[in-house]
Every structure is written in structure tokens, then in C-alpha cells.
Amino acid sequence: MSLKIRLARGGTKKRPYYRIVVADARSPRDGRFIEKIGTYNPMLPKDGERVVLVTERVQHWLSVGAQPTDRVARFLDAAGLSKREARNNPQKAEPGKKAQERAAEKAKKAAAAQEAAAE
């Protein structure tokens, strides 16, 4: 059984509120969970009580082998409970292959037009 530490959404429309729960990886997002180990309220300011964790239970579940999702891993790293490696994607801002081909074609046409105007 693969365990995940993840967010389960609550609250109303446009007013999210999340519980940080330990659940089987196969169970639905807002479905059955094993234990509630914290809360996350994104409507509060960042310097307030936005994330509340029960640290001893988090440490227990991490020691048992539960894997946090990316967002929960950020919370745990901020709380000093686990280390999250920084991600690096240098190709993120590059356009796709088709867009690069179109840009090259456009540059080629512009160069040809400039050359024709110079003659």
C-alpha cells in the first residue's frame, strides 16, 4: 500500500480550505483518508497561520514511508521537517518546435526583404 501525504480540498466555491491528510495513493482526492495531520488555508496572509501541521505525526508518517506531494513537500520544507530539492527547468521558457520553425522562417523572409531593399 503506497501512502501519500496530500491535500484534500474543502470549503466553498472560490473559498478553498485544505486538510493535509495521509491517504492511500489509490483513494480519490477528497475521499477516504487515514489521518488528518494538518490544515492549509490559502485565504490567510502568508505571514499568518496559513499552514498548521502536527509535526510529530508528520515525522511518524515520513518515517513509515509516506511520500508527500509537491505542494505538501514545500510546506514540510518551510517547516523544517524534510528537505526539498530545488527544481531547475532551463527549457521552460523556450518556445515549442513549431514556433521555433515559424520564427526561423519569419527571420529568413525578413532578411530576404532587407537584402532586396538594399539592392
Contact 3, 22 (CB under 8 A): yes
pLDDT interval class at 71 (50, 70, 90): very high
Question: What is the rounded distance in angstroms from the CA atom of residue 34 to the CA atom of residue 14?
Answer: 27
pTM above 0.85, yes or no: no
pLDDT of residue 36: 96
- Examine the pLDDT at 1 and tell me if it is beyond 70: no
Residue 79 has what DSSP assignment? H
- Examine the pLDDT at 105 and tell me if it is beyond 80: yes
What is the average pLDDT score of the chain?
91
Question: What is the rounded distance in angstroms from the CA atom of residue 55 to the CA atom of residue 58?
Answer: 5
Torsion, CA 80, CA 54, CA 51, CA 43, rounded to 10: 170
Question: What is the rounded distance in angstroms from the CA atom of residue 98 to the CA atom of residue 22?
Answer: 43
pLDDT interval class at 108 (50, 70, 90): very high
Q: Could you state, in order of their start, the residue ranges of all structural domains in the chain?
A: 3-79
Which CATH number, 3.30.1320.10, 1.25.40.10, 1.10.1840.10, 3.40.50.800, labels domain 3-79? 3.30.1320.10
- Examine the pLDDT at 87 and tell me if it is beyond 90: no
Question: What is the rounded distance in angstroms from the CA atom of residue 39 to the CA atom of residue 16?
Answer: 11
- Examine the pLDDT at 90 and tell me if it is beyond 90: no
- The partner residues of 93 in beta bridges, in order of sequence, read none
